[in-house]
Amino acid sequence: MMETQSVAGVACTDLHQAMSRIDGAALARLEQAIAEANTVFVFGAGRSLLMLKAFAMRLMHIGLKVHVVGDVVTPALKNGDLLLLASASGETASLVNVATKAKQLGGTVALLTIFPESTLGNLAEVVVRIPAYTDKLPDGLDNVKGILPGGSLFEEAVMVLGDAMIVNLAQSDGISLNQRFCATRQPRIVIRHKETNMKLQLAPGRVNPA
């Protein structure tokens, strides 16, 4: 049995190998789509959704409008919005339904996936292939077979790619990553209670700290 830190080291090597095979031009198109969207919506299933929620938090930190599909406070997607999905197989039924509806509403669909030739891959305008292995897809694909179980390599690639895109998106918008994220573009919010006239002020730099 390997020591835990050795397993982690191999996992990092696997992740680096997968990252080196990602199409940089496709990533640039995704970053552009995010930057140009009126609002970004993210959606996935299981751990993939958790990774996109983490990305959504960072998008909020640099001042972009972002929502998670399915949250009770999420508004309707509109023309000019972007739906970003993460699905290893590209065949998750709930995501296919959401993507189809988003296109009907005039939104742009972007996808992080192992299998671009999937149903979601054919629906999406922007597709980034993450070459991680999964036993759900046909043999013969040039995917990295990592040491971690299940779809962990794909999911962790989604997480790291998200944080990497934040670096470029922030720099292109003139945001210094040496500052607190939430100190950059968060507006000053004043909430007044009609009856007691109580006032809550949320100053820039004190909203949802990282």
pLDDT digit string (tens) for 43-96?
999 999 999 999 999 999 999 999 999 999 999 999 999 999 999 999 999 999
Is 207 a member of any domain? no
In a domain, 121, yes or no: yes
Contacts 24+ apart (CB under 8 A), 98-103: 98/43, 98/69, 99/123, 99/124, 101/77, 102/41, 102/77
- On whether residue 32 sits in a domain, the answer given is yes
Contact (Cβ atoms closer than 8 angstroms) between residue 78 and residue 107: yes
pLDDT confidence bin for 134, thresholds 50/70/90: confident
Q: Are 77 and 104 in contact (CB under 8 A)?
A: no
More confident position, 186 or 16: 16
144 lies in some domain: yes
In this prediction, residues 136-153 reach a mean pLDDT of: 71
Parent domain of 67 = 4-178
Residue 196 placed within a domain: no
Rounded-to-integer distance, Cα 48 and Cα 113, Å: 10
Catalytic sites, residue numbers = 155
| Residues present in the chain in total | 210
Number of domains in the chain: 1
- Say which CATH number the domain at 39 has: 3.40.50.10490
Domain membership of residue 21 (yes or no) is: yes
d(CA 7, CA 14): 11
